[in-house]
Amino acid sequence: MYVARNLPMMLELEHRFRIVDLHGHLDHDEVSVSTHGRDIGPDRLERECLQAGVVQTAVSPTRRPDDIGYLRANNAVARLSVDRPFLAFARLNGSLAAADNPISKLRNLYAPRDTHHTRPGDVEQYAYDDRFHGFVLDPAVDGLPDREVRDELIDVDLPVIVYCRPSFPPAAVTDTLLNDGYPIVLAGFGGYPLDNSRMKNVLALLDQYDHLYLDTWAVRDREILERGLLEHPDRILFGSGTPAVHQNVAVMEILTLDISEDAMSRVFNKNPTRLIPGLSVESEF
């Protein structure tokens, strides 16, 4: 896999599906790309989309240092998405600790919003700027936005992709976000990294929350993927996690499942375009 990832070109996939990718990252910082030796800028990402037969990809910034914030990174990603098969999602951070323990709860009582944290006005600006189509939250990495910011997310009612990690499990999403009512997509079935028990628990949550969706990023268990697609055919969305996972690899993981063509069409295209109109045929470049 590593060798193929670093070849100049990969074999282009041949399939008859229209595929849109809900889960991608774009490194807007060319200095970072050259320093770390990772060619993950917009041109390389666009080539990988073409190789995998992906017509559009939702992209958000890669992780930034804690004291910088995402305002400039979000705007850069939106700018680099113009005239490319990308849809920009704004990444948000916050001052609140994501871990559910007494120390974190005490800290959150005295955790004022700093200058680099997302403000309610930022969310409003992103939402009414036609360059952005949703938001990304990774509370274990970036902190959890405060109540004022989350109230603004309720008002704008755009999809929010949420990462679950050991310190911010699906139960924490239920306690802090799921009752707000806007569409939430749990990345990787809520089980990253490879926590099958969390993935199975999240599948059960789909029966309780009509506005909850799951994407397929890094779900390596075929049984869990097939179960999700068979039991909840309208709530599973294709997400590759590119460029960490080459889109060819992520697409093949779906194509090799024991499911119907209709189920594949749903996860690749119908479900994500219903949630995010910008991914529709009319919006292709």
What is the tens place of the pLDDT at every residue in 16-68?
899 999 999 987 665 454 444 455 789 989 999 999 999 999 999 998 888 88
Residues of the chain with pLDDT under 50: 1-10, 31, 33-37
Give me the pLDDT at residue 40, please: 72
Give me the pLDDT at residue 113, please: 85
The reported pTM is: 0.90
Specify the CATH architecture of the domain 21-280.
Alpha-Beta Barrel (3.20)
E strand segments, 108-170: 132-137, 160-162
For 50-112, the DSSP string reads HHHTEEEEEEEEPP--TTT-SHHHHHHHHHHHTTTTEEEEEEE--SB--S-SHHHHHHHHT--
The domains of the chain are located at 21-280
Q: Return the structure tokens found at 171.
A: 């139960």
Give the 3-state secondary structure of residue 128: coil
